[in-house]
A and B are shown apart, each in its own frame.
Chain A
Amino acid sequence: MPQALAGYRICDFTGQLAGAGATKWLAAFGAEVIRIEDPVRQGRWDILRGAPPFKPGQRGIDHGGAFNNHNTEKLGITLNLKTDKAKAILRRLVAISDVVAENFAAGVLERWGFGYDALKTIRPDIIYVSNCGFGRAGPYSRFKTWGPIVQAVSGLTYTSALPAQPPAGWGYSYMDHTGGYYMAMAILAALYHRERTGEGQWVDLACTDAALTLNGPALLDWTVNGRGQRDMPINSNRSQFGAMAPHGIYGCAGDDAWIAIACRTQTQWEMLAQLIDAPWTTAFRTLAQRLANEDALDGHLSTWTSAWDKYALEAVLRERGIPASAVQKPAERVDGDPAIRDFGLWPTVRHTAMGEVRVDGLPVHFSRTDWRIERGGPCLSEHTDHVLTRLLGLPADEVAALHEEGVL
């Protein structure tokens, strides 16, 4: 099968998830992604290198499960950019790359002498995509972030909560994933622009900008109606702006077992009321009644669901055309859900140190140029010799000497 992005080369300084997640997509579609890491700190700028989860009995800089997950199909080299010889090698690599990507704090690449102006002198049509929390301009441009901070500042944490509770926020770095998606879009868009015009450019991406745009209707409610989320009771399990009821997550029989139920239409509610078959449902005939007394409705419904097994109830509700889904635990959705299993979502990769291990695949399939994830993330410096001799044409003895000198 042909690969959609074959022939593109990415000089990749990204790490963690917000950056590495972006170039993972490019590599899966055939771009040659060359990760550059610092040999002195053993690539530990990316805190996921050498961090759990580990396969049983494994540990160490080449065994980080998250690092492997985000860096499949990439090549890995080391360059000590404090040395002039490493800088010279990087210049040669940039000269044959289409894209330079990074998610350092603002200004790091400039300090090494590889800001956009410098990159442009090496290759005039280079695409440079930087991704940092607050971007390069604005009062907070020097501030530090990681996923939870981006989510906090942008409004995504505040709007995820139950009543009379502090914000629940997101139990993972939603904006590291999503920042990576926007970074991938930025790289792809800049490549598309270059294909049509010949022009390269620098895209300064800020994760917090992207995050801010993910609550659009609430922002318009503010700018148009002057109504802010700060003024409203927050219950993010309920429907956005009271469009549906019931709409929530209800307890089921068993330990920490829950089901999500939503009635989008009047018919769906009537089907549900028929199934429940209890006198209390008659007080909730119309959507207006259900919205006006949603706490009482949820109370009754919770009592009813608590006797059910979550999957048994899901089956019964789905059979009646009522939107419902069990809240699935990782094991249940990864290995138990046939719709996910049959999509081929969890490819097994071969990793040089970890052996065979399953990773997140991509939730898409292309009929002509589908993605391929077969090789695990690179061990530290795994492809240095290959890249320097094969791509840059350095003699093997010179590469050996560079290792000796601490350049690689």
Chain B
Amino acid sequence: MSVLAGVRVIELASERVAFAGKLLADMGADVILVEPPAGDAARHYPPFVDDVPGPERSLHFWHYNTSKRGVTLDLSDSADQARLRRLLADADVFLESQPTTRLAALGLDYTDLASANPGLVHVAVTPYGRQRPESDLPETDLTLMAAGGPVWSCGYDDHSLPPVRGWGFQAYHTACHYAVMSVFTALLYRQRGGGGQFIDVSVAAACNVTTEGASYGWLVAEATLQRQTGRHASVTPTGETQMRCADGRWVNTGVPPRFPEEFARLLAWIRKLDLEASFPEAVFLEMGADWEGPFDLSLIGSDDTVTAIFGAGREGLKLVAQRVSAQEFFEGCQHAGLAVGVINSPEEALEDPHFRARGMQVPVHHEALDRTIMYPGAPFSLPLAPWRIARRAPYLGEHNAELFGDD
């Protein structure tokens, strides 16, 4: 049995809540996606199957709507409003991202819904919260990331280049993560004898508290972090952490060697690659490997020996990187105990043997195309209530007859 088996979720289609609906549906909730008769706008978002546009061909829509059923309702029509009201009367969760006053105008506000269904958990995910007029302004993932803080911290050492938005609809993802945590929290409360409630999720607020030190650096010390290439934004500049390997791909070098055994393993690797003769600093790696007791890191920069040893650690890594591929560098460093990462593109990650072994590709059948397509797998799974994609995204109005019959 899936963890949310028997939990019914009504989702009013919006790109801002689709991911929350998917997470719940893949955990077994019966999520009914309600689209306008013309379909959710995301049905027209690229990319498309074989690059041919069409409302049943958007890979974006497919990804965000797995395991859901789909119906169409025209919320300006009173008969359809009544259908939605009936759906909500015995639903467990209502997920929506409507403008601030729209549901109230339709008589579908939380107060109206709760009188018919006191156990309902109503979750609104809006740009700035249900009460704020800014929630009714047009926005995109980009503008919310800029307003909410992530953009300020990302980019390059060269500040004549614009700061960078992390790709992939992450503002919406972050809000949806909070929406799902909220749904579980409210369901637990209800399960143990409490009632339903209204939950107000702000996308901009979610971004604001997902910026690590940028927020609490200001809150605690009125410090303003500055963006840097490929590493944490910082008040004072820190050393580079990205290197390009022999095959042209990049790695993140993480933290350079700090412990004697790490210097020893790096030196052994340099020797194995036959590079010691061209690396005079190897002698300092040897000193690092033979060091008695822990290093006093505060001496870097003042004590000549300690400085030379740590400099040799960084230079040694650079030397190796120039001779091996990014994947070899990643695996070699990790075997030496260093937390280094190869910078994969998404598809390289998906094809990586580790993620394949963990089942991160799952097949989903699309019968109309007669194709079985591999989708990204579970972010996590409960062994006794496993995550699974129960079905492909619904066709437009696919379940109208199933849910509304002839009424």
Are A and B co-members of a single complex? yes
- Across chains A and B, the number of contacting residue pairs, with CB separation under 8 Å, is 515
The reply on A203 being an interface residue by CB < 8 A is: yes
Report the Cα distance A328→B182, complex, angstroms: 27
Question: A77-85, A182-190, A380-388, A390-398: which one contacts chain B?
Answer: A182-190
What's the nearest-Cβ distance from chain B to residue A38, in Å? 16
Q: Which B residues are in CB contact (< 8 Å) with A154?
A: 344, 346, 349
Name the 7 nearest CB pairs between A and B, nearest first: A155-B346, A152-B341, A363-B205, A171-B153, A260-B146, A188-B184, A65-B220
Report the Cα distance A214→B168, complex, angstroms: 7
A243-B46 CB under 8 A given contacts A220-B375, A321-B138, A327-B151 = yes
B47 pairs with A230, CB closer than 8 A: no
- 7 CB contacts below 8 A, A to B, read A156-B168, A160-B164, A213-B379, A242-B46, A325-B146, A340-B205, A357-B219
The reply on B384 being an interface residue by CB < 8 A is: yes
The reply on A280 being an interface residue by CB < 8 A is: no
Which A residue's beta carbon lies closest to that of B49? Answer: A224
Q: Which B residues are in CB contact (< 8 Å) with A146?
A: 254, 339
Q: Which A residues are in CB contact (< 8 Å) with B141?
A: 240
Of the four ranges (under 10, 10 to 19, 20 to 34, 35 or more), the interface on chain B belongs to: 35 or more
What's the nearest-Cβ distance from chain A to residue B205, in Å? 3
The reply on B27 being an interface residue by CB < 8 A is: yes
A167 pairs with B181, CB closer than 8 A: no
Report the Cα distance A212→B342, complex, angstroms: 14
The reply on A269 being an interface residue by CB < 8 A is: no
The reply on B107 being an interface residue by CB < 8 A is: no
Question: B69-77, B155-163, B284-292, B297-305: which one contacts chain A?
Answer: B155-163
A225-B50 CB under 8 A given contacts A212-B346, A333-B208, A339-B204 = yes
Question: B188-196, B264-272, B316-324, B396-404: which one contacts chain A?
Answer: B188-196
Contact digits for B201-237, partner A, Cβ 8 Å, 1 yes 0 no: 1111110111111111111111111011111110000
Report the Cα distance A52→B221, complex, angstroms: 9
A339 pairs with B134, CB closer than 8 A: yes
A185 pairs with B184, CB closer than 8 A: yes
Report the Cα distance A156→B191, complex, angstroms: 37
Q: Which B residues are in CB contact (< 8 Å) with A2?
A: 189, 194
What's the nearest-Cβ distance from chain A to residue B368, in Å? 14
Report the Cα distance A54→B213, complex, angstroms: 12
Residue in contact with A222 in the complex, picked from B165, B213, B223, B350, CB distance below 8 Å: B350
Q: Which B residues are in CB contact (< 8 Å) with A178?
A: 173-174, 177, 210
Q: Which B residues are in CB contact (< 8 Å) with A139?
A: 353-354, 357
Question: B59-67, B79-87, B274-282: which one contacts chain A?
Answer: B59-67
Question: A87-95, A107-115, A251-259, A399-407: which one contacts chain B?
Answer: A251-259
Contacts A169-B166, A240-B169 known; list 5 others, CB within 8 Å.
Answer: A168-B156, A330-B214, A363-B175, A364-B182, A369-B197
A162-B161 CB under 8 A given contacts A195-B188, A219-B376, A249-B146 = yes
Q: Which A residues are in CB contact (< 8 Å) with B185?
A: 4-5, 25, 29, 188, 366, 369
The reply on B310 being an interface residue by CB < 8 A is: no
Of A201, A340, A364, which is in contact with the most chain B CB atoms at under 10 Å from its CB? Answer: A364
The reply on B144 being an interface residue by CB < 8 A is: yes
The reply on B257 being an interface residue by CB < 8 A is: no
Q: Which B residues are in CB contact (< 8 Å) with A106?
A: none
Report the Cα distance A215→B19, complex, angstroms: 12
Residue in contact with A155 in the complex, picked from B222, B348, B382, CB distance below 8 Å: B348
Contact digits for A148-191, partner B, Cβ 8 Å, 1 yes 0 no: 11111111111111100111111111101110011011101111
The reply on B178 being an interface residue by CB < 8 A is: yes
Report the Cα distance A324→B134, complex, angstroms: 12
Report the Cα distance A209→B150, complex, angstroms: 22
The reply on B273 being an interface residue by CB < 8 A is: no
Which A residue's beta carbon lies closest to that of B173? Answer: A214
Report the Cα distance A160→B164, complex, angstroms: 7
B132 pairs with A236, CB closer than 8 A: no
Enumerate B340-393 residues with CB–CB distance to A below 8 Å: 340-350, 352-355, 357-358, 360-361, 373-385
A324 pairs with B360, CB closer than 8 A: no
The reply on A14 being an interface residue by CB < 8 A is: no
Which B residue's beta carbon lies closest to that of A159? Answer: B167
Report the Cα distance A236→B45, complex, angstroms: 16
A250 pairs with B154, CB closer than 8 A: no
A174 pairs with B170, CB closer than 8 A: yes
Q: Which A residues are in CB contact (< 8 Å) with B223?
A: 53
Contact digits for A214-252, partner B, Cβ 8 Å, 1 yes 0 no: 111111111111011110001011011111100111110
A237-B164 CB under 8 A given contacts A168-B154, A193-B382, A369-B186 = yes
